[in-house]
Structure 1
Amino acid sequence: MDTTLTDPLVGKLLDGRYRVESRIARGGMATVYLALDIRLDRMVAVKVMHRTLAEDPAFVRRFIGEAKSVASLSHPNVVHVFDQGTDGGNVYLSMEYVPGRTLRDVLRARGRFPAREALEVMIPVLAALGAAHQAGMVHRDVKPENVLIADDGRVKVVDFGLARAIEATNQTRTGVMIGTIGYMSPEQVTSGAADARSDVYAAGIMLFELLTGRQPYEGDTPMSVAYRHVHDTVPVPSALLPGSHPLLDTLVAQATARDPAGRPADATAMLVAAVDAHRMLPRESGPVPAVPAAPVPAGPAAATQVHPAAPAPGPVNQTLIQPRADLLTGPAGGQAPPAAPAAPAAPKERRRPRARWFLIGLAVVMVIAVGVTGWLFSQDTSIKVPYLIGQNATLAATEAKQRGFVVEEGKAENDEKVPKGNVLRTEPTSGTEVEPGTKLIIIASAGPKRVAVPNVVGLSAPDARVKLAEAGLVPGSVRRQASDTVPRDQVMRTSPAVGNPVKEGSKVNLVVSAGLVMPDVKGMPRDQADQTLRTAGFVPEFVEQVDAAQPCTVIAQDPQPNTEVDKGAVVRLTLSQCANPEWHWPWENGQNPNDPGQNVIVIPNIVFKDVKAARQELQTAGMRVKVKKALGRGVVVAQIPAGGQPVPPGTEVTIWH
């Protein structure tokens, strides 16, 4: 059964941004998925931590901190970290997707590497580790599984900082060591301490494995392997692969010294040694063939014979092969040569000088040939790609041309950190050894990418969100606001405003029209309710019913107050009966407003006055005031009882604004 089909995350939208397409790999601490970033429309690798880790708060805190550090590490041989987040119980990293295989997969498929090819893998690995060490970071888990070989041959290191985050969890130490014990330095095994030299040790073990096809230590249990790391000295490659070049033995021995003080200080120091070794290796990158010893003839003369030996490093004119001593100086030990058949003495004396000079000449020719061959092999015409990152692209191109490269300018790429016009990266990468005249592509930074906020005014909120996402922006909050000019549910404006240049991935908030808000006209006299609604853009319709309330006032309305409605909507108002014979003004019940003895007050007419001033005027006149919101514009649009009517002191007057 295809396990991808049963994986619950496949086909899901993680954190509202990453659509999980398929599962790439599953390890002891995380599962890696191929996903589409729907915001930026690019494929990414999403590493989702296993639930046992994600449920540990200490791990999550450390994981987030490490992710931020790794995201700041920009190097062509480091898998870039784009994003980190959580979605429910899923804690994840979004990373650069590198199509290809791990170095472990390549080792399983093809076995050990020739010497030069092994170094050509290790050099970019060491460059990545060196950049991390200079930034104060330690990988802690260098191994072939964490080295990616892209389909186009690029080498990338992944999982910086993950091992450090694991240290904060409640997982047992043994559980973490099982997968990486073959590459752990002695100090990591004994104390758990790790620094840049611990990464150097692991890199040395990995170089040993590339050269020989196996790890230096094997055991039935992880602890038996750990014991050997602590107490044994890592063998040199030639111990398993006779004839391996001494330079490689030296490089592995220095990197895997049990005492950290005996190793290169960091990966950059080991990188320098690896580049030098690569430069001095012969073009035939396989192991140096062992030179079999010549058979030694029996008898006394054997003691005087000198045979060729395997070449050792030294001056190119050093004599590596010498003539046989017995042919130059005669038999050793004073012994006479075996008797020969009788022959005239004179011819024998004539042949010996001729043979001697012939052999001497032959020896001289051999010495010259060996010297010339050594000189040819010692000449390395290759050149290294200089480190140009961050330099002015024009000056960098001039420098590269002076070093013998054919320079080509690549298409500039946006970058938030490297200033516009400076070198962002080169192809091939810095430190790569190439032939003179090789084409070097210099890719400059186009500076930070800025996106103009698209015009979404007049669109619906869903359509506006889609258009923002297509422009590489993140739709933010949506706020509704009443408007008598913009139809309901259409975008009125954005924040930042339309046309403003913003950083890609920035959040843009929307203000959407709520249309008109239905005023509250309950209790308002008919004429004033009619005027208020028509002023606001509505069409009022009135229905009367018998009611004991004050005559001709609104007792019900549909739609209800504060409802969002469109301009021109019909409002159905129910009125109390406008002609109510049983309702009387106060003076019609024995009170005379013109009688000085009667205590009555004439209500001021405060319609169209500022609501605060109107309230103050009514209260000064001895009225109680109730304020209701109709249009909400701060100006009185209606009052009841109406102005000019005599009422007893303390009468409540309701005003609408």
Structure 2
Amino acid sequence: MAAETPDSPHSPSPGTATRPIAALINRVLTGRYEILEFIGEGPLLAAYRARDRAQNRVVALKILLPQRAADYANIKEKLRTGLGEVLSLSHPSITRAFDVGADEENGAAVFVAEEYIRGIDLKERIRRAAPFQLTAATDCGIALAEALEFAHARGIAHGDVRPQNVLIGPEGQVKLSGFGIAEAQNLALYQDPGLLTRVVAYVASDAAASARPTASADLYALGVILFEMLTGDLPFKGDNPLQVAIKHAQEPVPSPRTINLGVPRALDGIVQKALGKRPEDRYLSAAEMLSDLREVRDSLRYGKSLAWSPQDRARIPAGAGAAILPSAAVSAIAPPDDEEADMGDATIVMPGAIRGGGALEARRGGAAVPPRATPAEAQGISGDEDEAINDRRGNKRKNSSGGNGGNGGNGSRWLTFINLFLGLALIGGIGGLVWMTMNFLQPTSEVVVPNLVGRSLTEAKTEGIDKKFSLAIVDQQYMDKVPSDQIYQQRPEPGRRIRQGKQVSLWVSRGPRMAEVPDVRDMSFDLARRLIEKNGLRVGNYTDEFDPLAPRGNVLRQSPESGENRPRGTKIDLVRSKGEEPPPTPEPLPSIDYVPDDTPPDDPLTDDAGNAVPEEADNRTRTFTVPYKVPRDDQPHRIRIDVIDRDGPRTIYDETLQAGEKVSADVQGIGKRITIKVYDNDALKTEQTK
């Protein structure tokens, strides 16, 4: 049992749309993955359609369900480890995993970003169209077998091969998803048996006892999928998971031909062999199953016979000493019936065992000999054709025995050739044995894998040369936070021991992807933001200021300037226009502070008789402080202060000031009536008489 993808990768599962996980919509994980749409939910993960801002592409984002992360202490670590091991899988029939990460602040304890396939899953396709045409079912089976062969060759088993995890693209391409989640999902399945309902129909009985997924269980599940495509039904069904599991373990494998008479014997045999109760009864490898499926495809394409079955192939008991040979090879070297040597009790494997004839064994010396299939029957040759061939063979035997006066010249040449061949084979075998002995008996040196994460590729190459291990770059991606040419992941992990010369896989960063800063000046703020985000950048801080020439809301300035190349995700700061500044509110006229003159008045004028003489004018000097604040309008202002007193008008202050400055001038006047006037750019602003 074991890997995991949502039950319906491209359509929401019934009853899941209202779950709390839908609250993740519109969130951005790790500042990179913007969640757009909820797709579906499986036993362990929920799937979303998301946009990768760094790579500017749509991805399928699968996130560990919050309740699973809370229930099982070590499930996060198992999930991260399993997903990390499959990042290097790159095959046309496997959905590509791009990134593994976590963003617990946004509710994602573990997530994986995968290739997004527009289309439906195979389960929905079966519901709509099963039973499939033979070519469609065979082609789909071949694609899945190729994916499993590729993964198994790299030591990776899937563990949850189900039609829900098979995606059908709009052009018919078949993709197997869900690698790397097997062990983590097993925790959930074993502790919550209710989840078994989703997977038990595709689980071999021996897989339930294994903590890790196996290649044999994957091939069993593929057999169930083939059965379902050919018939539209499952081979084993029950009212509950326990009943289904018992049927997997005990009931005979049903034949697809009993449900769909159009299934040829060859396809029926492939399905039944894949569904063997024991691993040794099934295909030994995905490559073996793939070979049979390709033979069926070729037979359908070129009109060849499909009357054979892989179950007809003979199984040789251990120690019997017989070998299975192709039928053509057997018929070429087998002696005629009247010249057969006495074989005693040796087992003879007949050519019919290869295709259609069954596993026939003939024992001499007491045991009944069952009828032997002729090479012609094994190869589908009619009786008349076989008789003609036998006549020609009889003539050849006569010529070889008596055509040269009975001296057996042809037989001698054949004997010489066989002896020469056996001699060369013996010499080659001895040489191979010596080579193997030299290779495997010499002591092997091991090295400890160093930690290469965070180091440059150049440093890693130097380390590999020093410690005698090879390097293989699995993937190179643009990464915002990892400098170019720096290693961000490796397999095997640091500290593992490997033989000298073994390979260490590396994932290397290409650094941040660069983007050109667009010119957004004189654009509306919304249009500028869309253009900035389209280029892979972000809007940073923005401020507003008055501008009489720019419409309200338009961009006045930007930083960085347009045309510069910056890493994707860089923030662009903007200054927006607030339009024309409204006229300033008139300020109240400033009051002029009077500074009293402390000079004691002069003694009144008197004549010689001591009589007072009236004054013609007041000659006293008075001082005043005149304040003035220049308006804030970004314009220069010429400020002039004039005084009119006993001596007449005069200017006592004349300066050019900037907007917002303040004036505080001391003014002196003589006489009883003093008038003070303040001008701003020759416009009278205040006038007071004291």
Q: TM-score, normalised by structure 2?
A: 0.44
Q: TM-score, normalised by structure 1?
A: 0.46
